């Protein structure tokens, strides 16, 4: 396994932005684990009756998307970040069989990571919610990002607007607060959702993107050294 850097944190904290800048700096591949689950959810919304679909059908669809490589095109679709997908994604996140096949896909990818589908990478940056606990407990460097809910909502709002999506800031803020509360309750009984003891906790509330990158880079340099 080539070097692994994990970046965990709750929704809207800026994991994707940091992952992109860190992976580009170190010539690593970048994987957003959450986008895979959201990609399956978006496919279900667009092609199925999501209120009637059976768990086994979701597994079959996830397998099809992964094996065909179409998972990446859906994962890059800005619509996976919309409140509609966020609200519906629970049926995918909570499907243990889907989690297993996506986890296996990510593990296999990290053995021979590629950038752009064909360029060998020196390692992989994996961002998600349990990348540093459940998936890669022995990662070379682990970061756990936190931020004030209002700041997270502002960032997510700007992101949506840049995609040309029509959104309401208060709706985004309320959704982030709701998801944070749910996540906090789940973490009380699920160790995989807790902050890894060896993770570097990065509070981005008062930092811009460049500052976040520099702080993370200094930590990673020390761990890789």
pLDDT of residue 42: 96
Helix (H) and strand (E) counts in the chain: 10, 7
Instruction: Let me know if 56 is exposed, middle or buried by CB neighbors in 10 A (0-12, 13-18, 19+).
Output: exposed
Asked if 102 contacts 41 with a C-beta cutoff of 8 angstroms, the reply is no
Instruction: Read off the tokens for 185.
Output: 């309750």
- Residues in Cβ contact with 39 at an 8 Å cutoff, skipping those fewer than 6 apart: 65, 71, 72, 74, 75, 77, 80
Is the model's pLDDT at 83 over the cut of 80?
A: no
pLDDT of residue 1: 82
For residue 179, the number of C-alpha atoms closer than 13 Å in the C-beta half-sphere is 21
pTM as predicted: 0.89
Domain 4-211, CATH among 3.40.190.170, 3.40.50.300, 3.90.1150.10, 3.40.50.1980: 3.40.50.300
């Amino acid at each position: 396994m080539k070097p692994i850097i994990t970046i965990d944190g709750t929704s809207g904290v800026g994991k994707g932005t940091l992952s992109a800048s860190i992976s580009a700096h170190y010539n690593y591949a970048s994987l957003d684990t959450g986008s895979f689950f959201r990609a399956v959810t978006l496919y279900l919304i667009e092609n199925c009756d999501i209120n009637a679909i059976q768990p086994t059908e979701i597994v079959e669809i996830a397998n099809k998307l992964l094996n065909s490589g179409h998972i990446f095109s859906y994962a890059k679709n800005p619509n996976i970040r919309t409140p509609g997908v966020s609200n519906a994604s629970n049926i995918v996140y909570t499907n243990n069989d889907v989690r297993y096949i996506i986890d296996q896909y990510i593990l296999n990818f990290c053995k021979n990571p590629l950038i752009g589908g064909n360029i060998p990478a020196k390692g992989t940056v994996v961002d998600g919610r349990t990348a540093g606990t459940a998936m890669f407990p022995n990662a070379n460097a682990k970061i756990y990002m936190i931020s004030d809910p209002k700041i997270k909502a502002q960032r997510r709002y700007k992101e949506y607007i840049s995609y040309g999506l029509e959104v309401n800031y208060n709706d985004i803020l309320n959704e982030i607060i709701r998801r944070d509360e749910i996540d906090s309750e789940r973490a009380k009984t699920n160790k995989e959702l807790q902050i890894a003891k060896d993770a570097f906790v990065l509070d981005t509330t008062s930092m811009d993107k460049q500052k976040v990158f520099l702080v993370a880079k200094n930590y990673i340099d020390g761990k890789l050294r």
